Amino acid sequence: MNLTNNDIKDMTQSIKDGDIYNTVYNCRCCGSCVSTWPSGHRCSLSTLAQGVQINCRGLNGVIKNIKEGKIDFSSELADYVFRCVSCHVCVENCSEFVNPVDYIHDIRMQLVERGLVPDSIMEVFKSIDQNGNVWGEKEDKRVDWTTGLNVPLANEGAEFDYLLFVGDSSAYVPRNQKTAQLFVQILNKLGIRFAILGNEERSSGNEALKMGEAGLFEDLATTNMESFAKYKVKKIIALSPHGYDALKNEYPKLDQNFDIEVLHYTEFLAKLIEEGVLTFTKAVNETVTYHDPCYLGRHNQIYDQPRAILAAIPGLNLVEMDHNKAYSICCGGGGGGIWMQRGEGVVVEQLRYKEALETGVETLVIACPICMQMFEGENENNKTNPIEIKDIIELVFEAL
Amino acid sequence: MNILICVKQVPDTTEIKVDPVTNTLMRAGVPSIVNPFDACALETAARIKDETPDTKIVIVSMGPEQAKVALTECLAVGADRAYLISGRGFGGSDTLATSYILSCAVRKLEELEGKFDIIFCGKQAIDGDTAQVGPELAEHLGLAQVTCALEAKTNGNTVQVRRKTERGSEILGVEMPCLITMTKTAYEPRYASSRKKREVAKQEIPTLDENSFEIDLTRAGLKGSPTKVKKTFTIPQNSTGVIFHEATERQSTISLFELLVKGNILQLGVRYGNE
């Protein structure tokens, strides 16, 4: 990109105006957002939009054209920007502090206000609006996963230290329900006083917000925060990194008095191990690899706690993938990616799944229900040579 | 450009059940939605507005006070004004009486909002499925009409309409003013954001009753309705049907074909070969 004097003038003006798009002019076209160390992984935008060379680098050109009024808001633009899975690889790799994910979020919000939303995403918005969850399930089925278990409800007067924020995927998706069921059994074994909101819990709003439906996010967050206030919640354990990110980083922006301590379950368990409260009695003789969920890793810098839990489990051997921690490849499910249709060819989740297979380990370990669904989906397509996928919770339960 | 869209609030038929004893619809607890064909009409009008930004979209609905919820949804999608037609004298109207009341209301709305270039209706409401109100309204108003439209685009003083036919579709040109009834379009109605909904929730929706415009009340309500419903009933389902889940689509097709031949529904001929 050759900057003209006018561009530089414009950039200076943008910085003065506090325009979020100002950093677009910092792009030096180095391509590190598209292809990351150590091997040439391309960004999710380029892998999800098959056959078209669009990616974070190309996006900077698109942003510039939108800013200058050369590109209109249209359903074609929506089909493009809704392919970003907000994995933050581009942000992490940019030496010039360009943040395409912020641009994408802003463009998505403007598209949503204009009603220009891909059909599959519109269905999710409607489901959240009508049912309070992203999966189109009825509100009153939110606690079905607790049947037969001792799971105290906040609205039944349970006294608790921690509110367990279950999240839509753990409450409704059968594979993730199993993990949630094991987690509450772990809490009960350790004598932790906890409760859930039950049918009063609403979607955390992370997906709504990241897909640009800021108004819907505000509604959900307000309802959840009213429940937190009603039950005098002081500490929250979130099962999903997506819910965790919303509660920890987005809710305080809506309410400056929001002073609840929010922990992802990996932070919580790692702390218990460190304090000697959580100890393991059984060996789990498995060789595993760990996938860093984007909303835990790059979005919140939680890389060490999940590994500390794995290291504490006797017999467990961790083999890292080439791309790990800040350079981890996304599962393809974040930022609404789980609902976007895929084109032909290799997409981002397949790249990651292949990398896990190439380590030759028995088990792919995750710490996010969306990652679980994405990789189980890959297993469905690979019935001859599938890899076992486990949540950290399942390994902890086995070792107790 | 001035566009009027007639919409109806209907129960979401994907959620509705029929009372097995009385054979009437069990509406309790069933969510209400904007009739899907009317939503297609609104989207078509919104697309015309995208192309011609000085277009005004006015929405009208006849129904009880709660139909204002449907009107608010339409405002959130991009309509500029909305009116509710509601009055005791209008209760129990059949399609003839409804279209007559709407025609009287349209004349009043033209005094308030200016002459309408296009009036859009859904081809039918999913609760009654008569498909009569749109065409009857055109007759009452003496307007040219095109039914079952798949898309409509303006071009000068005419509207180019692609309409569904039994064998596919045909393209017609119709001069404005005109009335167009919309069927399911290839495009989905656009999304109404939560912020937009909050914004339009404050917008006033005037109600027009029998005293708001000129009308012959003997032609409205039960009195003005020649239709008499003797009985409603659900058709009993005799068979649960057969679903073929063979390894491939081709094998499933062959199994279906064999069943149809066995039941003498299809006969093997030269055209079908030996499979």
Whether residue A199 is found in the same domain as residue A307? no
Whether residue A135 is found in the same domain as residue A108? no
What CATH number is given to the structural domain containing A34? Answer: 1.10.1060.10
Cα separation, A117 vs A217, in Å, equals 16
Whether residue B133 is found in the same domain as residue B64? yes
Q: Is A294 in contact with A328 (CB distance < 8 Å)?
A: yes
Pinpoint the alpha helices (H) of chain B. Answer: 36-51, 68-77, 95-113, 133-141, 194-200, 249-262
Closest CA to B110 of B20, B208, B201, B10: B208
Among residues A271, A300, A324, which one ends one of the domains? A271
Domain membership of residue A180 (yes or no) is: yes
Whether residue A238 is found in the same domain as residue A220? yes
Domain membership of residue B231 (yes or no) is: no
Among residues B192, B219, B246, which one ends one of the domains? B219
Domain membership of residue A89 (yes or no) is: yes
Buried b (16+ CB within 10 A) or exposed e, A46-55: bbbbeeeebb
The residue segments making up the domain with residue A88 are 5-113
**pLDDT for A12:** 44
Identify which has the larger pLDDT, B78 or A225. A225
Whether residue B64 is found in the same domain as residue B172? yes
Domain membership of residue A124 (yes or no) is: no
| pLDDT at residue B206 tops 50 | yes
Cα separation, A56 vs B201, in Å, equals 38
Write the pLDDT tens digit of every residue in B133-162: 999 999 999 999 999 999 999 999 999 999
Whether residue B167 is found in the same domain as residue B255? no
Whether residue B158 is found in the same domain as residue B31? yes
Whether residue A252 is found in the same domain as residue A293? no
What CATH number is given to the structural domain containing B187? Answer: 3.40.50.620
Whether residue A137 is found in the same domain as residue A255? yes
Looking at chain A, which residue has its C-alpha nearest residue B190?
A: A115
Domain membership of residue B225 (yes or no) is: no
Looking at chain A, which residue has its C-alpha nearest residue B186?
A: A119
**Total of domains in chain A:** 3
Looking at chain A, which residue has its C-alpha nearest residue B189?
A: A115
What CATH number is given to the structural domain containing A302? Answer: 3.40.50
Whether residue B120 is found in the same domain as residue B155? yes
Write the pLDDT tens digit of every residue in A108-134: 999 999 999 999 999 999 999 989 999
Whether residue A248 is found in the same domain as residue A218? yes
Domain membership of residue A87 (yes or no) is: yes
Whether residue A98 is found in the same domain as residue A146? no
Among residues A85, A113, A141, which one ends one of the domains? A113
Identify which has the larger pLDDT, B248 or A175. A175
CA distances from B160 to B59, B104, B152 (A): 22, 27, 6
Whether residue B91 is found in the same domain as residue B62? yes
The residue segments making up the domain with residue B245 are 237-275
Residues of B in contact with A223 (CB under 8 A): none
Among residues A232, A253, A271, which one ends one of the domains? A271
**Which whole number is the average pLDDT over B264-272?**
71
Task: Please give the structure tokens belonging to residue B10.
Answer: 């209907």
Domain membership of residue A118 (yes or no) is: no
Cβ pairs A/B, distance under 8 A: 37
Residues of A in contact with B78 (CB under 8 A): 115
Residues of A in contact with B198 (CB under 8 A): 215
Identify which has the larger pLDDT, A275 or B271. A275
Q: Do B196 and A113 touch (CB under 8 A)?
A: yes
Domain membership of residue A121 (yes or no) is: no
Domain membership of residue A126 (yes or no) is: no
Q: Is A135 in contact with A369 (CB distance < 8 Å)?
A: no
Q: Do B188 and A116 touch (CB under 8 A)?
A: no
pLDDT classification of B275: cutoffs 50, 70, 90: very low
Domain membership of residue B35 (yes or no) is: yes
- pLDDT-wise least confident of A202-206, A375-379, B31-35, B170-174: B31-35
Whether residue B269 is found in the same domain as residue B177? no
Whether residue A93 is found in the same domain as residue A149? no
Mind telling me how many Å the CA of A249 is from chain B's nearest CA? 21
Looking at chain B, which residue has its C-alpha nearest residue A112?
A: B193
Whether residue B106 is found in the same domain as residue B242? no
Top residue of B44, B72, B195, B199 to mutate, by most chain A CBs within 10 Å, is B195
Domain membership of residue B267 (yes or no) is: yes
Mind telling me how many Å the CA of A131 is from chain B's nearest CA? 12
**Does A117 contact B at CB distance below 8 Å?**
yes
Whether residue A241 is found in the same domain as residue A294? no
Write the pLDDT tens digit of every residue in B40-62: 999 999 999 999 999 999 999 99
**pLDDT for A11:** 45
**Does A73 contact B at CB distance below 8 Å?**
no
Whether residue A288 is found in the same domain as residue A246? no
**Total of domains in chain B:** 2
The rounded percent of chain B whose pLDDT value lies above 70 is 95
CA distances from B269 to B258, B266, B275 (A): 13, 9, 11
| Mean of per-residue pLDDT scores for chain B | 91
Choose among A112, A214, A219: nearest Cβ to B191: A112
Closest CA to A338 of A174, A54, A179, A135: A135
Looking at chain A, which residue has its C-alpha nearest residue B43?
A: A115
Domain membership of residue B229 (yes or no) is: no
| pLDDT at residue B23 tops 70 | no
**pLDDT for B95:** 95
Whether residue A286 is found in the same domain as residue A359? yes
Residues 200-219 of A with CB under 8 A from B: 213-216, 218-219
| pLDDT at residue B237 tops 80 | no
Whether residue A154 is found in the same domain as residue A264? yes
Domain membership of residue A123 (yes or no) is: no
Whether residue B81 is found in the same domain as residue B211? yes
Domain membership of residue B115 (yes or no) is: yes
Q: From first to last of its 400 residues, what are the pLDDT tens digits of chain A?
A: 344 444 444 544 444 455 556 677 777 777 777 665 444 555 655 554 443 444 555 666 777 777 777 778 888 888 888 888 898 888 887 787 788 788 888 889 999 999 999 999 999 999 999 899 999 999 999 999 999 999 999 999 989 999 999 999 999 999 999 999 999 999 999 999 999 999 999 999 999 999 999 999 999 999 999 999 999 999 999 999 999 999 999 999 999 999 999 999 999 999 999 999 999 999 999 999 999 999 999 999 999 999 999 999 999 999 999 889 988 889 999 999 999 887 666 678 888 999 999 999 999 999 999 999 999 999 999 989 899 999 999 999 999 9
- Tallying the residues shown for chain A, one arrives at 400
